[in-house]
Amino acid sequence: MPEKAAGTGEPVRVLVKAMAVLELLAEAADELSLGDIAARLELNKSTCHRILTTLAAGDFVERPSPGSYRLGVGAFRIGSAMARRLSVHERVLPAMRVLYRETGETVFLLVPRGQEAVCVERLDGRYASTHTLRVGGSLPLHLGAGPRLLLAALPDDQVEGYLAGPLQVRTSPTQMTADELREQVRLIRRDGYATSHDDVELGVKALSVPVRDHLGDVVAALSLSGLAAHLPESEQDRHLGLMRSAAAQASRAMGLRSAAEGS
């Protein structure tokens, strides 16, 4: 077998076809027939049938009814094991480093935890001492660009439940009411990013964009923060472009397919 692989590459080609079958079934909303699979992947039906039979023997594919196929529990086991090993911090850190080098400002990575946003990574930029949020620290979901972005990612009922409760008050000229936060949520969902100015520290501005997992769900907020003078409105489009590029890289590292990155 190794000699055949080295000489012709045929087993490798079969593996590529098998992976294509699994990816197709993973993306399908319902089970597919042999003909559908063969046609979509431009495979010979007999070859496609042999691949499906082999995958079914390992429980990677199952037949819910005669002639139809869908992903099996074997694929679920592998996917679950991979999901357990997905570390947002480890997978997003390379993109954070790129953003840090490109801007020189402080970069934060925040993840949701109940009604808080927890900082799991921070790369210190210019005047980093102005930022009080440390790794392991948290902010309520309505304070700051990153937390509000995570708030906006919640389902409507959870957003309303959060806004119905007591909102922690900070000494800030920008303290928002529930109605103002509700409008912020609408704008964040529309625009795909969040901003803050003087929310957490006076004189500090922040921008935040979402990091998504393989399902397209928001799992973290990537934030850029610095003195307002260093993040002027005239430079916001450029900064957002850099941030979106970093977030796309981070989301790919989390398993998001490129076709879904902009959604």
Q: Give residue-wise pLDDT tens across range 101-146.
A: 999 999 999 999 889 999 989 999 877 676 778 888 889 999 999 9
Q: Which contacts (CB < 8 Å, 24+ apart) does range 72-77 have?
A: 75/22, 75/25, 75/26
Question: Thinking of the domain 86-260, which architecture would CATH place it in?
Answer: 2-Layer Sandwich (3.30)
Rounded to an integer, the average pLDDT of 170-184 is: 77
Structure tokens at 211: 């990091």
- Residue 140's nearest CA partner among 114, 160, 171, 120 is 114
Model pTM?
0.68
Percent of the chain as helix, strand, coil, to the nearest 5:
50, 20, 30
State the greatest distance between any 2 C-alpha atoms of the chain, in Å, as a whole number.
73
The pLDDT assigned to 5 comes to: 45
- Give the contacts of 99 (CB within 8 A, at least 6 positions apart): 107, 222, 224, 242, 243, 246
Q: Give the tens place of pLDDT for each residue, 58-69.
A: 899 999 888 899
Q: For residue 8, is pLDDT > 50?
A: no
Query: 175 or 217: whose pLDDT is higher?
Result: 217
CATH class of domain segment(s) 2-83 = mainly alpha
| pLDDT the model gives residue 3 | 39
Side by side, the strands of the sheet bearing 61-62 are 32-33, 68-71, 61-62
Window from 57-71, 104-118, 146-160, 166-180 with minimum mean pLDDT = 166-180
Least confident window among 127-141, 160-174, 210-224: 160-174
Residue, of 155 and 227, whose pLDDT is higher: 155
What's the confidence (pLDDT) of residue 195? 94
- What is the model's pLDDT at position 52? 92
What value, to the nearest 5°, has the Cα angle with vertex 29 and ends 262 and 210?
25
pLDDT of residue 1: 39
pLDDT band for position 26 (50/70/90)? confident
- What is the structure's pLDDT at 51? 93
| Domain boundary assignment for the chain | 2-83, 86-260
